[in-house]
Amino acid sequence: MIEIKDVTKLYKVKGKEIVGVKNVSLTIDKGEIFGIVGYSGAGKSSLLRCLNLLEKPTSGEIKIDGIPITELGKKELREERLKIGMIFQHFYLISAKTVFENIAFALKAAGKTKEEISSKTNELLKMVGLENQKDQYPSQLSGGQKQRVGIARALANDPKVLLCDEATSALDPNTTKSILSLLKSINKKLGITIVLITHEMEVVKEICHRMAIMQDGEIIESGDVYNIFANPEKELTKTFISSVIQMDLPEPLLKNRKGTVIKIQFKGAIAEEAVVSELFQNFRVKGNILHGKIEYIQETPLGIFIMELVGEEAEVKRAISYIESRIENLEVVKQVA
Amino acid sequence: MLDSILNILPDLNKAFFETLYMVAISLGVSLVVGLPLGIILFVTDKGLLFENAWIKQIAGILVNLIRSVPFIILLVALLPLTQLITGTTIGPTAASVSLSVAAIPFFARLVETSLREIDKGVIEAAVAVGATPWMIIREVLLPEAKPGIVQAITVTAISLLGYSAMAGIVGGGGIGDFAIRFGYYRYDNTIMLTTVILLIVIVQLMQVIGDGAAKAVNKR
């Protein structure tokens, strides 16, 4: 478990103080994948780097499994870092070392013997699927392969926590998918807590359990990924979500609608029920679906539909209140003209 | 013409080995002292492994001080030190002292520059892994800077070859000294040309070997 308490990080640039992270308190549970989202400059990278003290918080406390890492001496901190893996957007492999040597480096840092290093490195190579590349140099690898080496290096000393600093931002969509599924399987198999920062909502949607959104150094919203996708509160959160779930209708199309246009959102189990078909059986209204989508977030469906209801005004109103009784989320996009 | 070349051959041969001797000794010393000095200049910098403004300042000033003195003056100024170390102020061994002193800060700066070219993120990743600073120097900084360091050795060796010519001023011997004494002062163009061609060949050879070595160790 990672406990972040009142962490603030200030930078001094040319005598001016710049806020990196501002009073952030956050608890990340053991074994979960936690995503921190924000635009660049929001402070998410600073916050992540505070977790293994690549940057020392100006104030506040960070505990990992009860160990106050902000209080540790140099030597204890080094030992603690063995237990906190980290991967980076630009991989940061040692270019003069082979794939094998890059991974072995982390084990050497932990003072392992030659035999231990050799067997563990081979095991890690197998896990990330790079057995055939072990004697190649990083320059000979693709981006995805480099990140796999990075992951193997980060996992070398069986860490409790894996920090991912924009780990997929430099990769193409397909490679991103494969790296994400690798992270997911690592999380499941090894029970490692993963903290990742990203500006890609897709990444969070794909693998995170919980998330936080950062703006100007502060966490403005946090919680379960599904809930945030279903009920975003802050403007920025909505903007981020709309980057993944596009539900805009073309302006002319909306203009020409004669009926009432509503947007309904089905969450969880209700998405599997036949609310819409019941609606048309029970009320004398005609429906016309303009837009619809079911997203699966952590295997739970989130359905969003934009529908035009045509019929007598009173009947439409009754129909709408029926939907409202079944579904929490209904938004009237356009009233009948 | 061939005759005059044949005549000077034994002397030229001696001069050649004197030069080789001087360059080898001073190159060796500058590597042994300059490499650690270059590393110190780098790792004591702000935000790095052994951030230390004092050491950085002192080492930096010392290096600049020596580098700003013209070699010819350094050569003379260091005569007492040379006497102290080698027991003489004449000959290639004596000349090697001032050559070494001049080459150390030169090489150290080149080492520092090649270390600076390493992506800071790579160092950071090693820190995040939990490696000790010593391990990072040995296993990250040096291997990553290796191509640059090899180039630095080449440049230093070639510069030393040039400087070694000046060693003739204090009776240091070597090809440069030979060229000045026999070629320049006696207006013997054949000797002049022969020695210059020899120097060109040596420089070319050093460059080719250095470039080859740098390429061989470069995995980027």
Q: Cα-flanking dihedrals φ and ψ of residue A57, to 5°?
A: -60, 145
CATH number of the domain enclosing A197: 3.40.50.300
What is the structure's pLDDT at A82?
95
Q: For A136, which residue in chain B has the nearest alpha carbon?
A: B219
Q: Are residues A179 and A315 in the same domain?
A: no
By residue range, what is the domain housing residue A278?
A: 251-334
The answer to whether B125 faces chain A, any CB pair under 8 Å, is: yes
Q: Which of A187, A222, A242 is the last residue of a domain?
A: A242
Q: Which of residues A191, A223, A242 is at a domain's end?
A: A242
Query: Which pLDDT value is given to residue A247?
Result: 81
For residue A251 the two structure tokens come to 């302006």
Residue A218 sits in the same domain as residue A279: no
Largest CA distance in chain B: 69
Predicted local distance difference test score (pLDDT) of residue A332:
85
What does the pLDDT average to over B29-45?
96
Half-sphere exposure of B124 (CA within 13 A, CB side): 18
More confident residue, B185 or B58: B58
CATH number at residue A265: 3.30.70.260
Query: How far apart, in whole angstroms, are the C-alpha atoms of residue A94 and residue B141?
Result: 9
| A94·B128 Cβ contact <8 A | no
CB pairs under 8 A between A and B: 77
Q: Tens of pLDDT along A254-280? A: 888 888 889 888 887 766 667 888 888
Q: How far apart are CA B71 and CA B172, in angstroms?
A: 14
Yes or no, beta carbons of B125 and A137 under 8 Å apart: no
Tokens representing B201?
Answer: 């060949």
Same domain, A60 and A201: yes
End-to-end C-alpha distance for chain A, whole angstroms: 55
- The predicted pLDDT at position A76 comes to 94
pLDDT tens for residues A152-201? Answer: 999 999 999 999 999 999 999 999 999 999 999 999 999 999 999 999 99
ipTM over 0.95: no
Q: Kindly report the backbone phi and psi dihedral angles of residue A43, in degrees, each rounded to the nearest multiple of 5, phi listed first.
A: 105, 5
- Look at A299 and A87; give whichever has higher pLDDT: A87
Q: Does A94 sit within 8 Å of B139, measured CB to CB?
A: yes
Per the CB < 8 Å rule, is A94 touching B143? Answer: yes
CB atoms within 10 A of CB A142: 12
φ/ψ of A162, rounded to 5, equals -120, 120
B133 within 8 A of B141, measured Cβ to Cβ: no
Question: Shortest CB distance from B128 goes to which of A54, A138, A139?
Answer: A54
Flag whether pLDDT at B26 surpasses 80: yes
The span from the CA of A12 to the CA of A323, in Å, is 55
List b or e across A167-179, with b for residues whose CB sees 16 or more CB atoms inside 10 angstroms: bbbbbeeebbbeb
pLDDT above 90: residue A296: no
CB contact (8 A) between residue A95 and residue B132: no
Chain B residues within 8 A of A110 when measuring between CB atoms: 130
Flag whether residue B46 sits within 8 Å of chain A, measured between CB atoms: no
Average pLDDT for A214-235: 93
A105 shares its domain with A144: yes
Q: To the nearest whole angstrom, how far is the Cα of B118 from the nearest Cα of chain A?
A: 10
pLDDT in the model for residue A337 = 55
CB contact under 8 A, A52 and B128: yes
In chain B, residues 23-42 whose CB comes closer than 8 Å to chain A: none
Interface check B205 vs A, CB under 8 A = no
Q: Which of A51, A86, A95 to mutate to test the interface with B (most CBs of B within 10 A)?
A: A95
One domain, residues A277 and A226: no
CA distances (Å), origin B153, targets A286, B107, B110, B141, B148: 84, 7, 9, 17, 9
Residue in chain B nearest A155 by alpha carbon: B129
Contacts of B219 in chain A (CB under 8 A): 95-97, 137-139
Q: By the CB < 8 Å criterion, does A5 face chain B?
A: no
Q: Does A204 touch chain B (CB under 8 A)?
A: no
Decide if A94 and B122 are in contact by the 8 Å CB cutoff: yes
A285 and A216: one domain? no
- Does the distance separating the beta carbons of A105 and B139 come in below 8 Å? yes
Substitution target in A11, A94, A195 with the highest count of B β-carbons within 10 Å is A94
Judged by CB atoms closer than 8 Å, whether chains meet at B146 and A96 is answered as yes
Q: How far apart are CA B26 and CA B97, in angstroms?
A: 7
Helix axis angle, B79-86 to B92-116, nearest 10°: 110
Give the span between the Cα atoms of B203 and A256, in whole angstroms: 82
Closest C-alpha among A282, A284, A283, A263 to residue A327: A263
Looking at the fold, whether A213 and A193 belong to one and the same domain comes out as yes
- Classify B2-217 by CATH class: mainly alpha
CB-CB contact of A315 with A285 (8 Å): yes
For the segment B46-101, what is each residue's pLDDT rounded down to a tens digit?
Answer: 888 888 999 999 999 999 999 999 998 998 899 899 999 998 888 889 899 999 99
Residue B184 corresponds to which tokens in the numbers above? Answer: 């320049």
Residues 256-295 on A with a CB inside 8 Å of B are none
Q: Look up the pTM and report it.
A: 0.88
Name the 3-class secondary structure at A188.
helix
Indicate the number of domains in chain A: 2
Last residue of a domain, one of A213, A242, A271: A242
Q: By the CB < 8 Å criterion, does A107 face chain B?
A: no
Contacts of B117 in chain A (CB under 8 A): none
CA angle A107/A108/A113 to nearest 5° reads 90
DSSP A136-154: S-GGGS-HHHHHHHHHHHH
Query: Nearest-5° angle of CA A283, CA A285, CA A286?
Result: 135
**φ, ψ (nearest 5 deg) of residue A331:** -130, 130
B216 and A CB contact within 8 Å? no
Quickly tell me which residue has 């000979």 as its tokens: A140
- Residues in A closer than 8 angstroms to B126, CB to CB, are 94, 105, 109
Instruction: Tell me the per-residue pLDDT of B134-168, one tens digit each, with 9 for 90 and over.
Output: 999 999 999 999 999 999 999 999 999 989 888 77
- Are A202 and A271 in the same domain? no
A110 touches B at CB < 8 Å = yes
Nearest to A54 among B127, B143, B217 (CB): B127
Cβ contact (<8 Å) for B130 and A81? yes
Which whole number is the average pLDDT over A205-212? 94
The verdict on A278 and A230 lying in the same domain is: no
